[in-house]
Structure 1
Amino acid sequence: MTLIKPGDSQWKDLLSQGAKALGQAPDENALEKCAAFARLLAQANNRVNLSSIRDPRDMAVKHFADSLAPIPYIPEGAKVADIGSGAGFPGLVLAIFRPDLQLTSIETIRKKANFQRHAALELGLSNVKIYNIRAENWKTEGDKGLLFDAVVCRALSDLSAILSWARPMLAPKGQIIAMKGPKGAQELEELDKSCLNDPPLKARVAEYSLPIEKAKRSLVIFS
């Protein structure tokens, strides 16, 4: 197996292949920004623990390419919140691939929020704001008047908790996109359906395969 490094030309080729497998056609600017982001993450991860995924190939597929899965479900020019965004996935990758979005990243852990701020500045992501707060405190500690067309989260918590955090942030006709593993449909089936009331939400599951390694993933979408 060829040795690749975070952000090198082979890494970009791998991300491009993964993006195309998910229906995205990345331009060189987006690939280069993702490559720069990957280098920043790898460097920072040597000092502080930001992500358990350190292998460059896994980083390209499991972090960067996977972050693109919600794109088809997010409308043009949307205001998007990523809650529990960790080191910036999927939020910063969405902001790179979709500069039309206004992305708000909400992360509880200070070192991860600080890394995101540094990365957004280095990458020139003017469409990103980062908040070091808990998602459930958005109304009191965030931008109180700001509601979102889409709230996304990745491997965050169970669906009932996600709904309780995301619903107060949702604009009318907005949607919640929970990125899950292979058992998203099962999680939805087991969800207490009273969680979908007041106001009522409809739920559906979109299944997909992680590029390259073909691991099963799912999006649970509430609208």
Structure 2
Amino acid sequence: ADRLPTFFAVVLALSFVLLMAVFRSLLVPLKAVIMNLLSIGSAYGAVVAVFQWGWGSALVGLGGSAPIDPWLPVMMFAIVFGLSMDYEVFLLSRVKEEYDRTGDNELAVADGLANTARVITAAAAIMVFVFGSFVLEADRSIKMFGFGLAVAVFLDATVVRMLLVPATMELLGDRNWWLPRWLDRLLPKIDVEGTSYNDTSVVDDPDFELEIEDVLSDDATPRRN
């Protein structure tokens, strides 16, 4: 329990730095971390309300309140943060691609959301059903774990990812992609989509060009029977 804040801080800091390097922005990674914490905090609140306070505990097959296992917050944080960040990167990659192409933040957010909403919703629906099935187990810890994960993924894929993230990016406008020049020079270039890869080494090879010319000349030479 004493190391839990350190664990949270390390994960959040690494996520912030990596997202800042990938998307070349200060506000985008900050927003991503805050939104992911909203999903995790909502899941913690739901678990405490149902299992510790006993609100609606009969709906999950419990007769009353029950203590929360000490390992649960750590495991829930790790899994939920990973899934939330996966949805976030998938959405932001599409938005950034459109913004680099058009320079219009409003259009980029709209197109990015339209192109990723179905995939994110479908992936989240699968996880919600899988985690929700854990509630049918007789073991209290498994019930608690599955319930918390199902609530977190559901809220993240609907309220957070489909509503709060696009709305925040629309309000921030072009400030989403602001990064100080000195920091841009320090950060490594990370291309998660592979858009900057352009392998021309083979085409520029003179030996390769000569081989192509030989093949073409052989094909063009008429054959005598």
TM-score by length of 1: 0.31
| Bigger-Rg structure (1/2) | 2
Instruction: Answer 1 or 2: which has greater strand percent.
Output: 1
Instruction: Answer 1 or 2: which has greater helix percent.
Output: 2
Higher RCO structure (Cα 8 Å, ≥6 apart): 2
TM-score by length of 2: 0.31
